[in-house]
Amino acid sequence: MNKPLTTVRSFIRLLALTALLFAATFRADVVNAAAEGARPNIVFILADDLGYGDLACYGRQDIKTPNLDRLARQGVRFTNHYANGPECSPTRTALLTGRYQQWVGGLECAIGTGNVGRYDDAIRLRETHDLGLPTEEQTIVRLLKDAGYATAITGKWHLGYEPKFAPNLHGFDYTFYCIGGGMDYFYYLDTVAGYNLFQDGRPIHREGYFTDLMTDEAIAYIKQPRDKPFFLYVPYTCPHAPFQGPDDLLDDPLPLDSPLWNQSKSPPEVYIAMIEHMDKRIGDLLRTLDDEGIAQNTVVIFASDNGGTRSARNAPLSGHKGSTLEGGIRVPAMARWPGVIPAGTVCDQPCITFDFTASMARIGGATPAADKPLEGIDILQHVAEAKTDFDRTLYWRKPRGQTIWMGVRQGALKFVARRKGDSYNEHLYDLASDVGEQHDLKDARPNDLARLKKLYLTWEQTVRQNRRGRPE
């Protein structure tokens, strides 16, 4: 009597199973097609000093970020994503090289405004005019260019003030950038009155709010006709100090003693205006991909270069930019790849900036040198193929002056240490139950503390390279 109903239910289950298998096969086919030559465009967007909780999709309720929220809904939002460094130059080095920045030497700390070295190796390199990312270093830019991609940067560089470190010498076909860290958003002057706006290694004159200028350049680049896929790197300066919104143009450059240069004390309304305007312009960029009919064949990745300053919202994390506490290194990140990454995905896999480098290399068909293998995992493939999350070991080291911040995460356990002169403090946290790092376990779990500390010291001894100065 129930046989027809049972047959119908079996048929429905078969259809559902077939649909699931088809979807999985389709995603795998698209992923494999990228590796076999049907390669997508790649747009990598990087915010500057954006805190983990500074976007609406990460819990902030007083900032409206509809475009980034939509990007996250259309693809994957990462909850356990880390920057390679707690400051910008180190993370940018790791992003471009796909390896820990310590291998390069001199770039474990952000280059100081006006080309200042901030720790021993960087100071020595500055004295010989060698502080920056050497052009002989392997980068994802050069790898993708050699694989047939058109390449461009519009935004912040901060990987060397010397002309020999200019991004056009690193494989970028088109460059429009500010050369250093923080600068006046309208007059492009930094705190030592240095001019920062460049194109292809030469200073240029423009007028406008920098967030707008660099976005307009990115949009114009996307609209250019070409017969090859492109890699577009869009590193914003927002919301890095000085704190200036799009409507804050003055008759003269911001005074060098203005409190708006203080990274820790942004007027809240200005900080919000800066982020909301960046989101608006990112929306314009994404809309251009739609208008040009290439959104379906473009991978878009968004992240921050380090944790937020004291002006940011890093909740529920502790610490801020510059430290290896979670608030200094855990950052918002998301990626969209239509037809490959299922919409609405949330990924809890611990990952780090140079994981995106590994993903970009694979989908772009780029092959790194045998002696410089990429150190990240292919995080986009991990998401696209719905792989099981796994424990990883990740490392951080940031020196500045006489202070060194250290960190290693293995599984849910994290070792954090800070040395300042003769003072030394170390801690152990279980992030699974204490993401805010409020309960130090170093006394309760001394064996774990010793194990992670040994891991860190072995890694530090292995990767740290004190690069020798090279003549001009």
Q: Does the predicted TM-score (pTM) go above 0.85?
A: yes
How confident is the model at residue 181, as a pLDDT? 86
Give me 113's structure tokens.
Answer: 């405004």
- The residues facing 408 across adjacent strands are 395, 415
Query: Any idea of the CA torsion for 420, 423, 429, 435, to the nearest 10 degrees?
Result: -40
Predicted pLDDT at 160: 97
The active-site residue out of 81, 88, 238, 347 is 88
* pLDDT computed for residue 334 by the predictor: 98
Give the model's pLDDT for residue 306: 98
Annotation says 57 is catalytic: no
Q: Is 88 known to be catalytic?
A: yes
Give the pLDDT of residue 363.
97
Where do the structural domains in the chain lie, given as residue ranges?
39-390, 395-463
**Residue of 158, 170, 240, 382 with catalytic role:** 158
Q: 39-390: which CATH topology?
A: Alkaline Phosphatase, subunit A (3.40.720)
Low-confidence ranges of the chain (pLDDT < 70): 1-37, 468-472
Out of 3.30.1120.10, 3.20.20.70, 3.40.50.620, 3.40.50.300, the CATH code matching 395-463 is: 3.30.1120.10
Three-state SS letters, the chain = CCHHHHHHHHHHHHHHHHHHHHHHHHHHHHHHHHHHCCCCEEEEEEECCCCCCCCHHHCCCCCCCHHHHHHHHHCEEECCEECCCCCHHHHHHHHHHCCCHHHCCCCCCCCECCCECCCHHHHHHHHCCCCECCCCCCCHHHHHHHCCCEEEEEEECCCECCHHHCHHHCCCCEEEEECCCCCCCCCCECCCCCECEEECCEECCCCCCHHHHHHHHHHHHHHCCCCCCEEEEEECCCCCCCCCCCCCCCCCCCCCCCHHHCCCCCCHHHHHHHHHHHHHHHHHHHHHHHHCCCHHHEEEEEEECCCCCCCCCCCCCCCCCCCCCHHHHECCEEEECCCCCCCCEEECCCEEHHHHHHHHHHHCCCCCCCCCCCCCCCHHHHHHCCCCCCCCEEEEEEEECCEEEEEEEECCEEEEEEEECCEEEEEEEECCCCCCCCCCCCCCCHHHHHHHHHHHHHHHHHHCCCCCCCCC
Q: Can you give the pLDDT at residue 38?
A: 78
The per-residue pLDDT for 468 is 60
Cα separation of 420 and 406, whole Å? 11
Residue-level pLDDT at 10: 46
Question: Which pLDDT belongs to residue 386?
Answer: 97
